């Protein structure tokens, strides 16, 4: 619904209500009675009236007549000629005429009534109009607020985040500690002629702690901290974003030295001229203003910009040059040592049982970032509270890990025995290869309990350490492990199911990346045939970009991908056939218990 049309309709209703009140008050004032002057004369002749009071106007001989009846009943009628009325009463009843009380009309009540009939409707209209303007943000006042910055100033009396609250990011904290030192003691750097970086860009995947690092810098430096999101600058009205940038830096200058933190800066600092059609839009005006404010003709001393993004590849090059964002700090995924430190931070206020080993949890959670680990321990605490325990045990963390990483187990789901048997052999095939291949194991948990993601079961490995890069051998072993479930189905049931669709998709991605990205094909050599991302046109790339190879090369790539997958399939199948007895044992154990851990699985090989 159109807000303007809705407001107009509401105003019309208010005006009609005011008119109704005015009409009602006017009717109430003039009166509407069936008592007439002729009825009064008849009652006087019949001796029903006891006394008469006439109120006469001063200017003309008109007025009103009030007759008192038996039982203290009073009736009123209007007189057009008071003198004629007096003669009529004298003729009808001389005794009653001698008792007529004649006086002037009191105008005070009439004036108050008339005043109320006008003031009341006008007051109601004004009241509702004020309420509507307040509801809409003050009308023109709100329009003036469009250009105001939406940056929030952190409460100086609130809880401060320091570097002690940030774990697993030692090198990143060292780089930002220089910023803190400058804000505390700028003369130390100015004396030697050093220039502190004007801006620090925090780059990394979501959840790695970029915003937390910025808060820690503000807490350590004990200076005003302004925070704003990149999307807060962008509006549908032209010029609003640039006005907000100017207002932001004006506020920062008043509170210098200070820190201005822009979260998700890629929303406003995207590469100019990118996308379909390019052009000069509102976002580019906002970016231009930000570039000028950070390093233009103006001087912004004592203002340090910190920004965070996980899409540094789409930022405009002008904002990344020295003098604007001088430093680019990579905030990556933590290693096993960092994950253990992060877990210790999130377990400060959580009582843990004796069987909880944070080092083992850190090993199990390879690839987790700080936000994932916090969510894991929170889910474990919720699980412990649900079980009415006062502390967290290993079982709570295991259940939380499955819930966070794979999905909630659907133990109540009814699965036919035939499908349960197929799932048992499928997962046993994965687990067997995880154990036998040297670079991908060992097995942590095997389960045939359905999960909330739609999987009929899962096999979870336990990496010994974090790998910085992947070797060709490990990628081939990952392909073999992914094919283990389909191979087990073929060998046991002489048939296949759709349950391996995700495995096949993953196998194809691994093999194609080996050929096109990493130069691991003897046939094609050390040449990259990667065609890039599918959304290049929205990242400032050419709309008509073609793949950097011809049809003949495409045929060779497809042939190499198929060769790699077929060879891995052949090797994996031979390995499972050699250990067929273990495959049967594992499947039987899964059908009995539905879930087995590492100790139970490895006992099958003894």
Catalytic residues, by residue number, are 427
Query: 303 pairs with which residues across the strands?
Result: 258
Say if residue 579 carries a ligand binding annotation.
Answer: no
Instruction: Tell me if 335 is assigned to a ligand binding site.
Output: no
Helices (H) and strands (E) in the chain, counts: 22, 13
296 known member of a binding site: no
Q: Spell 264-278 as b/e; 16+ CB within 10 A means b.
A: bbbbbbbbbebeeee
Q: Of 117, 210, 195, 99, which is closest to residue 161 (Cα–Cα)?
A: 210
Cross-strand bridge partners of residue 458: 447
**Whose CA is closest to 149, among 246, 258, 225, 235?**
246
Q: Is 584 annotated as a binding residue?
A: no
CA dihedral 90, 69, 30, 27 (to 10 degrees): -150
How distant is the alpha carbon of residue 10 from its chain centre? 33
CA-based angle 586:588:590, to the nearest 5? 70
Give me the phi and psi of 147, to 5 degrees please. Answer: -85, 0
Task: Say if residue 334 carries a ligand binding annotation.
Answer: no
What are 592's two structure tokens?
């009995």
Does the annotation list 247 as a binding residue? Answer: no
The answer to the question of whether 211 is labelled as a binding residue is: yes
Inter-CA distances, 98 with 50, 51, 76, 318, Å: 12, 10, 20, 106
Helix, strand, coil percentages for the chain (3-state, nearest 5): 55, 10, 35
For 537-572, b where at least 16 C-beta lie within 10 A, e where not — what string? eeebeeeeeeeebeeeeeebbeebbeebbeebbebb
302 known ligand binder: no
CA distances from 65 to 49, 69, 392 (A): 12, 13, 92
Any alpha helices (H) in 31-81, and if so which ranges? Answer: 37-45
* CA-based nearest residue to 406, from 369, 365, 370: 365
**What residues contact residue 376 under an 8 Å CB cut-off, 6+ apart?**
361, 365, 368, 397, 400, 401, 404
Is residue 35 a contact partner of residue 75, using CB atoms and an 8 Å limit? yes
- Distance, in Å, from the CA atom of 362 to the CA atom of 340, rounded to the nearest integer, reads 5
Q: What is the CA radius of gyration of the chain?
A: 43
The reply, when asked if residue 451 is annotated as ligand binding, is no
Q: Is 204 annotated as a binding residue?
A: yes
Helix axes 580-593, 551-578, angle to 10 degrees: 80
Annotated binding-site residue? 29? no
Which residue in the block uniquely carries the two structure tokens 């910055």? 149
**Tokens matching residue 371:** 């936000």
Residue list for the binding site: 204-211, 426, 430, 503
Q: Which residues are annotated as a binding site for Zn(2+)?
A: 426, 430, 503
- Which positions make up the binding site for ATP? 204-211
């Amino acid at each position: 619904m159109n807000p303007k049309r809705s407001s107009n309709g509401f105003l019309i209703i208010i005006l009609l209500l005011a008119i109704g009140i005015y009409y009602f008050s006017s009717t109430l004032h003039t009166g509407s009675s069936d008592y007439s002057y002729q009825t009064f004369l008849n009652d006087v002749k019949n001796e029903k009236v006891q006394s008469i009071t006439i109120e006469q106007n001063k200017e003309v001989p008109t007025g009103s007549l009030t007759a008192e009846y038996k039982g203290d009943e009073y009736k009123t009628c209007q007189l057009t000629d008071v003198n004629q009325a007096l003669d009529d009463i004298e003729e009808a009843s001389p005794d009653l005429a001698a008792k007529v009380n004649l006086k002037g009309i009191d105008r005070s009540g009439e004036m108050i009534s008339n005043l109320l009939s006008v003031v009341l409707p006008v007051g109601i209209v004004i009241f509702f109009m004020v309420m509507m303007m307040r509801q809409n943000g003050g009308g023109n006042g709100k329009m003036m607020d469009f250009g105001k910055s939406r940056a929030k100033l952190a409460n100086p009396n609130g809880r401060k985040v320091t570097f002690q609250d940030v774990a697993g990011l030692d090198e990143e904290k060292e780089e930002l500690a220089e910023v803190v030192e400058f804000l505390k003691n700028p003369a130390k750097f100015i004396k030697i002629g050093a220039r502190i970086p004007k801006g620090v860009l925090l780059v990394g995947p979501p959840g790695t702690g970029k915003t937390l690092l910025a808060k820690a810098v503000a807490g350590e430096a004990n200076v005003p901290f302004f925070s704003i999101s990149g999307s807060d600058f962008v509006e549908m009205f032209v010029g609003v974003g640039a006005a907000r940038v100017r207002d932001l830096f004006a506020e920062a200058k008043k509170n210098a030295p200070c820190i201005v933190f822009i979260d998700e800066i890629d929303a406003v600092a995207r590469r100019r001229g990118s996308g379909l059609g390019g052009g000069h839009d509102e976002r580019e005006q906002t970016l231009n203003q930000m570039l000028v404010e950070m390093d233009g003709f103006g001087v912004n001393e004592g203002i340090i910009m910190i920004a965070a993004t996980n899409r540094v590849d789409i930022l405009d090059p002008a904002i990344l040059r020295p003098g604007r964002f001088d430093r680019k700090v990579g905030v990556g995924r933590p290693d096993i040592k960092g994950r253990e430190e992060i877990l210790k931070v999130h377990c400060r206020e959580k009582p843990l049982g004796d069987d909880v080993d944070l080092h083992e949890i850190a090993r199990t959670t390879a690839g987790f970032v700080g936000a994932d680990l916090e969510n894991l321990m929170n889910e474990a605490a919720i699980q412990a509270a649900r079980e009415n325990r006062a502390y967290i045990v290993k079982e709570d963390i295991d259940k939380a890990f499955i819930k966070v990483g794979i999905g909630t187990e659907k133990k109540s789901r009814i699965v036919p025995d035939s499908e349960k048997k197929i799932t048992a052999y499928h997962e046993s095939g994965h687990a067997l290869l995880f154990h036998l291949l040297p670079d991908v194991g060992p097995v942590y948990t095997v389960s045939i309990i359905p999960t909330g993601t739609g999987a009929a079961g899962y096999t979870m490995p336990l990496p010994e350490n974090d790998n910085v890069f992947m070797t060709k051998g490990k990628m081939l072993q990952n392909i073999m492990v992914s094919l283990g479930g389909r191979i087990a189905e073929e060998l046991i049931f002489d048939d296949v199911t759709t349950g391996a669709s995700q495995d096949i998709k993953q196998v194809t991605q691994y093999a194609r990346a080996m050929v096109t990205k990493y130069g691991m094909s003897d046939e094609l050599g050390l040449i990259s045939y990667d065609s890039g991302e599918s959304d290049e046109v929205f990242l400032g790339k050419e709309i008509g970009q073609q793949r950097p190879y011809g049809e003949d090369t495409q045929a060779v790539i497809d042939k190499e991908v198929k060769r790699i997958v077929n060879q891995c399939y052949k090797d994996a199948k031979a390995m499972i056939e050699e250990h067929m007895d273990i495959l049967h044992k594992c499947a039987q154990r899964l059908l009995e218990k539905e879930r087995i851990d590492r100790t139970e699985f490895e006992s099958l090989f003894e």
